[in-house]
Each structure stands twice: as C-alpha cells, then as structure tokens.
Structure 1
Amino acid sequence: MLNKLIVLAALLLPACFANAHEYKVGELEIAHPWSQELPPNAPTVAAYFVIHNSGKTADRLLSVDSPISGEAQLHEHVMQNDMMKMQHVPSVEIPAGGNVTFAPMAYHVMLLELKDRSLLSEGKHFPLTMHFEKAGDVTVEVAVQKKPPQDTQMHVHTQ
C-alpha cells in the first residue's frame, strides 16, 4: 500500500509544479514568471512574465521588489535613432481585457544590486512581489532557466 502511495505521489508531483508558475490577484493573472540563468559576473538580472487583465477596467503595475536585490525597476526597450535602448518606466498600464508581456527586448523587471546570487542558477526560484494600483500586491516565484518557457498557455493559480 505504501508503495502505491509513493507511486501516486510521484505521478502527481509534476502536475503540482506545472501550475506553480501562474498566479492571480484581483482580475489579474500573472503567468510564467522566469529569468535567465545568471552569468557568473553579471551585475544585474531581468525577470519576465505575462500579465492578463480579465477585468473591465485597466490596472497599473506600480513597482516590484525582491529580497535578492537592493533595487528592482520596471524597464522597457525602445527604438531611438535606429538604436534599441533600455529605459526605466515609472509604471506599466495593464489594459482591461488585455495582456502585457514582459520579455527580452520588451518590458521587463531589472534587478539591481544583487544580494543572493545563489538563487540565480538554472532550476532555482526567487520571490518577486508586484504592486498593482487596484489589484494590490502579489508575490510570485520566478523560475530560473537557460531558455524562455516553451508553454505560453495561461493557467491560473490563486494566491
């Protein structure tokens, strides 16, 4: 009987982890928080995710923070004079019924003044708290991986 329970637990474990990368706060769903594995001497790291607003009013991501960094900023890439540049933005609007994708060469979270580099290798996770104007705060677990996630389906995990 114990062996059957162990086998059942082993079979269900991947399903638990499959839903571990989707979060919900208010009308907002945050999917696939991830970061690339940090090169040994990199001074900063970026975090990415998708926010879907299923509500009828827009919301705004005001700020983010993480215990692994001294500072976290919202950034975007913009084309200026035929050059792609990264710039800090004070907030990001999440339109009603719409999605905002935080990805390489788009919006992203820049983590500066890194404190705990041990959590920035493949297979590790670190917390990131998002502060929204209307929905409030939600903490997600950012998965560190070598490549962007392949599965972009939106599944919701209620916090």
Structure 2
Amino acid sequence: MSSAPSTDPAERPAPPRRRTTSGALSAAYVPVVTCVTALMLLMAYTATGAAGEPPARISVSNARIFVSSNSVNTAAFFDITNTGPTGDVLKSVSSAELGSTMLGRRVTEDGAGRMEALPSLTIPARSRVTMSPYGVDVMVLDPPKLKVGDVVRFDLWFLGSGRVSVDAVVVPPQM
C-alpha cells in the first residue's frame, strides 16, 4: 500500500529554523559603526578648541584710494574692525574695476623705503587695523585713470568671514 501525502497541517513536518542572530548582527553593524565614527569625529573637533566659538564680526570703513600721481601704481586703504571674539585673516583684496591688486607693507631699511608684498593680514579679535601709507595698504598695479571723487568697488576676502564688499572714494595723495 502506498501512502498518500497528508493534507492535515498538524501532520506536516515543521520547516527548519533559520539562525537569525547573524542577520541581526549584520543589520546592526552599519548603524553602530556610523555612530561610533561620528562620535570620534565630534570628539576630535571639540579637542581642537574651535567647537562652539563665535565667528569674527568684520566691518570695513574709511575706504579710500589715492588718485595716481603716475600711471605705474597707487594704493588703497581701509579701516578693518573686528568686534567678534575670534580673530580673522585678510587673505586678499580684489577689484573688478582695477585689475591687479595685492596686500603690501612699507619697509624702511637704511633710510630708504620700499613696498613689500604681504601674503595676509591678521585682524585680531576685538581690534581695529588701520591701513596707511606708512604701514599696510593695498597696492594697485597699473591702475586706470582715476579722478578725485570717483568710487571704486573692492572685495576684501577673509579666511573666516568670506567676502566683504566696500566702496572706496578716490582722494588726493596724503602723506
């Protein structure tokens, strides 16, 4: 006699059980590693001392540019104020109207003065830096013809504060 397959569910053999622990571990692996990595990065960031520091607050005033006494170069000057608790760095100054500009400073050696390029200018926290013909300025190389009263737009590029735009008035040279 042959036996026919049983249709009664109670008589069917139970399916084999799967091991679910390895599946649960692999499913938890990615979120745990992600959280641990994020925590380590946050700890490293706070260890540098920069976390939570308020930014510098930069403002620029008294923007002026000398009318060129020759066609070779001239200079622009700004008063830069930082009222914030963190210092900032002026990396460069540009003007679409003028072409080539660079930070510079006057150096006097053996009674002779000369201009020297300056890679950047630090603006300390809670301070004011005043540019002048006797210290730091912005050298303008091969300027266009400017006349007293003209207005020239400058962009000052800071490491932390980004771009600060200001209009400078063309004035006669003042020594």
TM-score w.r.t. the length of structure 2 is: 0.63
**Identity of matched residues, %:** 29
Partner residue of 1:128 out of 142, 147, 154: 154
- Taking structure 1 as reference, are residues 105 and 60 closer, same or farther at Cα in structure 2, changes over 3 Å only? same
Alignment correspondent of 2:115:
86
Q: Which runs of 4+ in 1 moved over 3 A?
A: none
CA distance in structure 2 between the aligned counterparts of 1:127 and 1:78, rounded to whole angstroms: 27
Alignment correspondent of 2:61:
31
1:57 is displaced (CA, Å) by: 1.0
CA RMSD after TM alignment: 1.6
TM-score w.r.t. the length of structure 1 is: 0.69
Matched, 1:63 2:84: no
Letter of the 1:52 partner, please give it: T
CA distance in structure 2 between the aligned counterparts of 1:122 and 1:29, rounded to whole angstroms: 24
Greater gyration radius: 2
Partner residue of 2:128 out of 74, 78, 99: 99
1:90 is displaced (CA, Å) by: 0.3
Which stretches in structure 2 are left out of the alignment for 5+ residues? 1-55
Which stretches in structure 1 are left out of the alignment for 5+ residues? 1-25, 149-159
Letter of the 2:171 partner, please give it: Q
CA distance in structure 2 between the aligned counterparts of 1:74 and 1:86, rounded to whole angstroms: 10
Q: Which has the higher contact order (CA 8 A, sep 6+)?
A: 1
Which is richer in helix?
2
1:147 is displaced (CA, Å) by: 5.7
